[in-house]
Amino acid sequence: MYWNNPILEFTWPSDQNPIQGQHLFYNPSCGFDNVVTNQRLQDLCDWANNWLEYDGVDLFVADQRNHYDIANLVKLNMWIADIRKQGIIKPWLMLDEGDGTFTAGTGDSRLRCLECIPEIQTVPAFVSTCESRAHLYSDLEPVTTFDQFATLCGADPGQLFLFKFADDQATHGMYWYEYNSAKTRSVTPGESWCVDVFARYAGAQSNLVIDKPWFDQLVPWHNYAE
């Protein structure tokens, strides 16, 4: 399926226009109440606490199947503090599912962050839809060029963008995008670094419980890096 489609790279500015024909719209103040997600923040907390209680830190960290979500514990803790400081920097990508709901092509992790920041009610977002539903977004700004897209992202010249596009049978065109913003670079560590610092941090705690108040306090992760 289209989520296995290749990732395409484009450096902005470019003579190529990956945005052309993607039926993309920009909403500077997009609500997210109708965004469907498979994992809320409490789900992540419950998962982590179950492991910590029944298997302990060492077994929790030793299982590589846990590494993605362990890294998310660290990243979400960092991102919540960062969003409180400078707001949402990268526009989300909302995928129109054709039934009045959306999924987040990008922004799903930030959706969990905002569970701790209820004062943020809207976010900047691109809405990705299909030709037959494009008329539903006539009140939004259509995004038709790479220059326009990159400008809305606040990109600098020479910025590398990564894109993944859907197939004709999807209810949306663009499926995913990413770029390395200078404003968020300091809070986008790699997975292995996150797992390592979490292991050292958790090993130094007694009766560690991961909950929403835990995310409200920024852990000094760099103190646990080698």
The 3-state DSSP composition of the chain as helix, strand, coil percent (nearest 5) reads: 40, 20, 35
Rounded Cα distance between 146 and 14, Å, is 8
DSSP strands (E only) in the chain: 8-12, 24-31, 92-96, 102-106, 122-128, 141-143, 159-165, 174-179
pLDDT at residue 3, as a whole number: 84
Supply the pLDDT for residue 114: 97
pLDDT at 93: 98
Query: What does pLDDT average to in each consecutive run of 10 residues of the chain (226 residues)?
Result: 92 97 97 94 97 96 97 98 97 96 95 97 97 96 98 97 93 96 93 98 96 97 95
Where along the chain do its domains lie?
23-214
Provide the whole-model pTM.
0.93
Residue-wise pLDDT for 156-195, tens only, equals 999 999 999 999 889 999 999 999 999 999 999 999 999 9
Contacts of 204 (CB under 8 A, 6+ apart): 224
